[in-house]
Amino acid sequence: MDISVQLAPQNKHGLLLPNPVIAASGTFGYGTEYAEVIDIQRLGGIVSKGITLNPRRGNPQPRLIETPAGLLNSIGLENIGVEALIREKVPVWATWQVPVIVNIVGETVEEYVQLAGILDGVEGISGIEVNISCPNVEAGAMEFGTDPEMAAQVTSAVKKETGLPVIVKLSPNVTDISEIARAVATAGADCLCITNTFRGMAIDVAQRKPALGNISGGLSGPAIKPLALYMVYTVAHEVEIPIIGSGGGSSASDALEFIMAGASAVQVGTATFTDPQAMLRIIGGVKEYLGREGFKNLGGLIGIGHFDKS
Ligand SMILES: Cc1cc2nc3c(=O)[nH]c(=O)nc-3n(C[C@H](O)[C@H](O)[C@H](O)COP(=O)(O)O)c2cc1C
């Protein structure tokens, strides 16, 4: 059964994944942390923790709060910085079969460009995911993802700087995600990731203060799946480039829903926290479904759910 998927058909390197299940940024560290826990080589791909030019310590604690059907996080992009990434992590990735994609974040267009330039052509990196959607930092990131012109500007600037496949990860915290998606696709993105976390908060009533140190955070997990799914479905009607669905996926059925809505692949994040084997389970379940339902590959299923209202 062939469940491989090409996420950057227009790119000279392409981004061919052995299967459509990718570890979502920020929920799988640099991959190395999980190498002893699950057989990471069986994953479709890994997106590393959002990286900035300089190391960041992130936001004040508490930074993670469980909600009835999800998780609120306000990590604030704690990371080791791009130099340490290249020195310590990338050489390990270069020995892996599983494609690793680096999630990048800047406070200015120039910072995104510098990061893309530093990562371009480095062995062990299969693609760049441009994070214009982090809700947990004060400057940059989500600002770029909520304005079509700025989103397009970052995309084309990054594309000029690197030959690597470029995925742009959109924010759901907008009025019309299609408008941003169209702008980013026109600016040359190879692929879209839809979506990052939804901005939310929780209040500790005993202490009468916000439960998160940063007041607000990003909501992930099962609570956001129907929201993310509809965004994928909407954008899939609007752009020609591949889409990765992200938001609350925890079962093969969730992954299949994203694929039927028009996604070519899915990212799984929060589900890994409750079950480190979740992604492998999803891969097995997708394969089993395709076999049982008589599909020879994944292609036939992508966007098959583009239903009419009648
Ligand atoms: C603790 C945590 C940290 C995250 N860090 C990042 C990050 O650094 N960059 C990014 O683009 N997304 C980040 N995300 C968002 C996830 O990659 C994913 O898009 C989101 O959680 C929705 O998927 P899920 O419901 O499967 O977790 C983070 C999410 C969580 C829960």
Averaged over 168-177, what is the pLDDT?
Answer: 96
pTM: 0.97
Is pLDDT above 70 for 135? yes
Query: Would the CB of 23 count as within 6 Å of ligand 1?
Result: no
- Band of pLDDT at residue 306, cut at 50, 70 and 90: confident
Inside any domain, residue 252:
yes
Please report whether residue 307 resides in a domain: no
* CATH for 56: 3.20.20.70
Residue whose tokens read 């938001």:
247
> Is residue 77 within 6 Å of ligand 1 at its C-beta?
yes
pLDDT value at 100 more than 70:
yes
CA separation for the pair 151, 170 (Å, rounded): 9
Domain range for 257 is 5-301
Strands 64-67 and 70-73, bridge-based pairing = antiparallel
Inside any domain, residue 310: no
DSSP 237-248: TT-SS-EEEESS
134 catalytic? Reply is yes
CB-based contact 23:48 (threshold 8 Å): no
As for how many domains the chain has, the answer is: 1
- With a CB cutoff of 8 Å and minimum separation 6, the contacts of 249 are 225, 255, 258, 266, 267, 268, 271, 282
Residue 212's pLDDT band, with cuts at 50, 70 and 90, is: very high
Q: What is the pLDDT of residue 138?
A: 67
pLDDT above 90 coverage of the chain, percent: 93
Q: What is the mean pLDDT of the chain?
A: 96
Classify residue 17: in a domain, yes or no: yes
257-300, pLDDT tens digit by residue?
Answer: 999 999 999 999 999 999 999 999 999 999 999 999 999 999 99
pLDDT of residue 305: 77
Is the model's pLDDT at 87 over the cut of 80? Answer: yes
Question: CA 261 → CA 68, 104, 214, distances in Å?
Answer: 26, 27, 34
For residue 139, name the pLDDT band (cuts at 50, 70, 90): low
Residue 69 domain-assigned (yes or no): yes
Query: From atom 2 of ligand 1, which residue's Cα is the shortest distance away?
Result: 26
Tally of CB atoms within 10 A around 184 = 29
Does residue 309 sit within a domain?
no
